[in-house]
Amino acid sequence: MTRFIVGTGEHVYEIDHPFGKLSAGLSWGNPSHVATDSSGKVYVYQRKDPPILIFEGDGQLVGSWGDGQLMDAHGIFITPNDEVFVADRDAHEVIKYDIKGNALLKLGHRERPALQEPFNHPADIAVSPSGDIFVADGYANSSIHHFSSNGDHIKSWGSWGSGPGQFITPHGIWVANDRVYVCDRENNRVQIFSTIGEYITEWTGFFHPMDIFIDSKNVAYVSDQVPGMTMLDLEGNMITRIRTPFNAHGVWVDIHGNIYTSGNAELVTKYIKL
């Protein structure tokens, strides 16, 4: 059988799709995002119960949790010490769990949307190395919200529009090297800020960028709706670009350099690093 190979240089991958083998009685429910923990286990965040499905890297299902707790899966982020943050988009809430599914912290007011305040259909979460929490509040607000590690609201920034520091749909977010990277989807760009919300610059050349991941080598992975994925250095220089077989709504890179993407009805794709 012909292998599906993508990428160039140091970023060459073999496509494994669909990733993940469900046990009897389970079915997929539009996986929105995916992340991996410190051991390489893969957490798929989907829009039905159980909302969290946990797989080994070979695709074997090893656990699940969250039944009856989460309304509308969107973004997920797992910290290096295995704290799991999820954006429950249509419940207007961000929740922090441990890897066993015990809720540790809740941000926002469940079922109470707020205009330009936390939250109004939040899209994604990123946690800085210091533990501060940044939320892209992107579906009815045009804001980024900054919280301390214990959930105290520090600052919000952003307004609706297309100028520097404005957003239409802040969709994906990442924090690295004291910078906040935001996929401003409908403006076809990634905007870059200081951690206190000062606009620095932007990257263009995308078509509706959806998510961003930055690895330990400071390589940024940006997915868009071409469908494609661009790898860049943190100066914004393109390293390579690949065609993804489906729109990559969520992107994560594991400890081995493999890429995982989620695509709602297109399920989960693994890009095996060669």
What does DSSP assign to residue 22? Answer: P
Q: Do residues 69 and 51 touch, judged by C-beta distance below 8 A? A: yes
> What mean pLDDT is predicted for residues 67-76?
97
- Return the domain boundaries, the chain: 5-273
Whether residue 11 is predicted with pLDDT greater than 80 in this model: the reply is yes
Nearest Cα neighbor of 127 from 165, 83, 183, 90 is 83
CA distance between the termini of the chain = 18
Round to whole Å and give the CA distance between 135 and 197: 12
Mean pLDDT check: name the lowest of 23-27, 121-125, 174-178, 191-195. Answer: 23-27
* Helices and strands in the chain: count of H runs, count of E runs: 0, 27
Cis peptide before 164 (omega within 30 of 0): no
CB 89 within 8 A of CB 74: yes
Q: How far apart are CA 70 and CA 95, in angstroms?
A: 9
CA 100 to chain CA centroid, Å, is 20
CATH number of 5-273: 2.120.10.30
Q: What percent of the chain has pLDDT over 90?
A: 97
Q: Provide the residue count of the chain.
A: 274
> Are the CB atoms for 153 and 167 separated by under 8 Å?
no
The pLDDT tens digits for 222-256 are 999 999 999 999 999 999 999 999 999 999 999 99
Is pLDDT above 80 for 1?
no
Interval 143-166 mean pLDDT: 98
For residue 185, give the DSSP letter: G
Tokens 């159980």 locate to 50
Task: Give φ, ψ of 4 to 5 degrees.
Answer: -100, 105
Look at residue 121 in the predicted model and tell me its pLDDT. Answer: 98
| Percent of the chain residues past pLDDT 70, beyond the cut | 100
**Contact between residue 248 and residue 229 where contact means Cβ atoms under 8 Å apart:** yes
Q: Would you state the pLDDT for residue 265? A: 87
Give the model's pLDDT for residue 25: 87
Mean pLDDT within 109-134 = 97
* DSSP 8-state code for residue 19: -
Q: What's the confidence (pLDDT) of residue 201? A: 98
- Mean pLDDT of the region 184-204: 98
Across the range 12-40, mean pLDDT stands at: 96
Q: Give the model's pLDDT for residue 173.
A: 99
Structure tokens at 253: 């890179």
Average pLDDT, the chain: 97
